[in-house]
A and B are shown apart, each in its own frame.
Chain A
């Protein structure tokens, strides 16, 4: 059986993603009865799914409408949204800076030693 702490963490993650999905998809309003108990079945997560189903069945037995959300999986967490960032060292306009590695190293040394402003 799934570790209860692991189940809790997974549930919270799925809850966050489901909430965002519902916010972005108004058509979900007609699929989600008010007061429903929502539970998840994630492809390939046997232990989680079994426990999730068992909890849902208890809630249904107590008279709560249940909504099952089938999930194929979760996309990887989003990292930086920057597209092709270029890092530059701001300098005096009109001065062309050498891009050679030696020149870059010299500039970095002068910056870190406090010699340059």
Chain B
């Protein structure tokens, strides 16, 4: 198989016109070398990231993004890329509303 780096990004709605997931991956040959699962909300006429899981910087971690642009980074380890991606979405499934409320509250301050 070709060793060219393939990049793909796709989105899907969680809440119409308000909340979406943006997923991104980079594949080299058959191997996923980078992935991102990001929860975004529509605020101030643009999609803004609220929480993000990715494996940049050499380790899997979660970025909790604040409305002022600052981020809290916490390492997470769930196994391989598949397991981490699954765990990330499971966390979002459980907590996406809380993340969105938190971000909106910060935006109002």
Q: Residues of A at under 8 Å CB distance from B? A: 4, 8-9, 11-13, 15-16, 19-20, 22-24, 26, 29, 32, 34-40, 55, 58-59, 67
Contact = CB atoms under 8 A, between A and B. Distances in A.
B1 to A, nearest CB: 7
Nearest to A55: B13
Interface stretch (B19-27, B56-64, B71-79): B19-27
Contacts of B86: 16, 19-20
Interface of B: 1, 6-17, 19, 21, 23, 25, 27, 29-30, 32, 35, 37, 81-82, 85-86, 89-90, 92-93, 96
B50 to A, nearest CB: 14
A11 B85 contact: no
B14 A8 contact: yes
13 contacts: A4-B15, A12-B21, A12-B96, A15-B21, A15-B23, A19-B85, A19-B86, A29-B8, A29-B27, A34-B9, A39-B13, A58-B17, A59-B13
A8 B23 CA distance: 16
Contacts of A15: 12, 21, 23, 89
B10 to A, nearest CB: 5
Contacts of B30: 26
